[in-house]
Amino acid sequence: MSASGLVRAAVLAGACALFFSTHVYVDFIRIRAKIVLAATGGHVHATATPEVLRNLPAPFAVIARIRNDAAAAGRFIIQIDGATVCEPSVAAQSTQRIDCAFERDWTSSVPHEVTVRSSAGQWALEYLEFAPHHGSSSRTRR
């Protein structure tokens, strides 16, 4: 390697070291609330308790995996405390991950009712979770 190549490599390494030393993650919210489910008559109902929510702050992501076994696409309604969070559509005979944003006032110290509804024939909610908004973390510069 030539002398100019070594100088360029040293300058690049120094710039990378400076950048990464001033742009680090020093805070990460490690909360994921997995919700226990019970299905009855075309909808799934669950209660998210304060013990499960563990001080989850809003806004946060509502993450669901829905399997639609019906012959036609199905429309689903995800609600928290009766308020609609999102209304995804899942293609026929497929499983889809749904990511919705909950951006309302929120208190994690009280129980919250979670409902997923659909008029689709055969379907299953395979997974439901609340997490910091789409897996993001808060970042603070040193």
SS (H, E, C) the chain: CCHHHHHHHHHHHHHHHHHHHHCCCCCCCCCCEECCCEEECCEEEEEECHHHHCCCCCCEEEEEEEEECCCCCEEEEEEECCEEEECCEECCCEEEEEEEEECCCCCCCCCEEEEEEECCCCEEEEEEEEEEHHHCCCCCCC
pLDDT at 98: 94
pLDDT per position as a tens digit, 81-96: 999 999 999 999 999 9
Average predicted confidence (pLDDT) for the chain:
78
100's tokens = 């919705």
pLDDT at 24: 45
Q: Where are the domains of the chain?
A: 33-134
pLDDT at 71: 93
pLDDT at 96: 95
CATH 3.50.50.60 is held by the domain 33-134: no
Instruction: List Cα–Cα distances, 133 to 31, 34, 56, 109, 137, in angstroms.
Output: 10, 15, 10, 18, 8
